[in-house]
Each structure stands twice: as C-alpha cells, then as structure tokens.
Amino acid sequence: MHSEVSVTLTAHQEFRCDLAHEAPMASEAARLWLDAEFTRLDCEPLRASGKVLLADKVLTVAQAAGPALLADPAWFRDFARAASGALVRPIVRVDVPAMAVSY
C-alpha cells in the first residue's frame, strides 16, 4: 500500500516523505512523539478552548518545524511516521497556509 506524508509551507515549498519502506509509528508512540515535539517547539493550541486534536498537533508541529526541520531527513521521516501512525492514515497532507490536514 502506498504511504506518504506531505507538508506544504508555501506555494513553492513542499516536503514529501514516501513511507513505502518505513512502518508508521505505533499509535501510542506516535502520540508521545508528537506531544514531545509540540512542547519542544513551543507550539500553541489552535482552539480557544485549549483542546488539541491530533490533526491540530500534526499541523502546528509542521508549522513550528518550518523549512529547517522539514529539510532534515531524519526528523522529517520521524514526523511522517508519527503523523501517519497517530492519524492512522496512509496518506497525510498538511497544508500550513490553509491550516488544513487532509487524508
């Protein structure tokens, strides 16, 4: 099965990770990895209630990572495995300008 995570930062800047030879992280490990990065990168909840949905966490971590971390192959591979594992989807598209995550 085809598995891929892509992150669009601008109309001309997109990062893709093909997970054909990588397994997604287990659900709990993926959530812990995203939690740790959310905290490390000083991400803020998107909702006024303070509730952070998994898709919101994937989006805000990608946004905070920016081009520097997304261009790091090891970090981006871990991010892609975590996003795919946490969301339980083989295809994940993160569109930072639109503030959207689609499957």
Angle between helices 27-40 and 54-70 (to 10 degrees): 60
pLDDT tens, position by position, 13-43:
999 999 988 889 999 999 999 999 999 999 9
Average of pLDDT values for 70-94? 97
pTM: 0.93
Instruction: Label residue 82 by pLDDT band (50, 70, 90).
Output: very high
On the question of pLDDT at 66 being above 80, the answer is yes
Q: What is the rounded CA–CA span in Å between residue 27 and residue 9?
A: 26
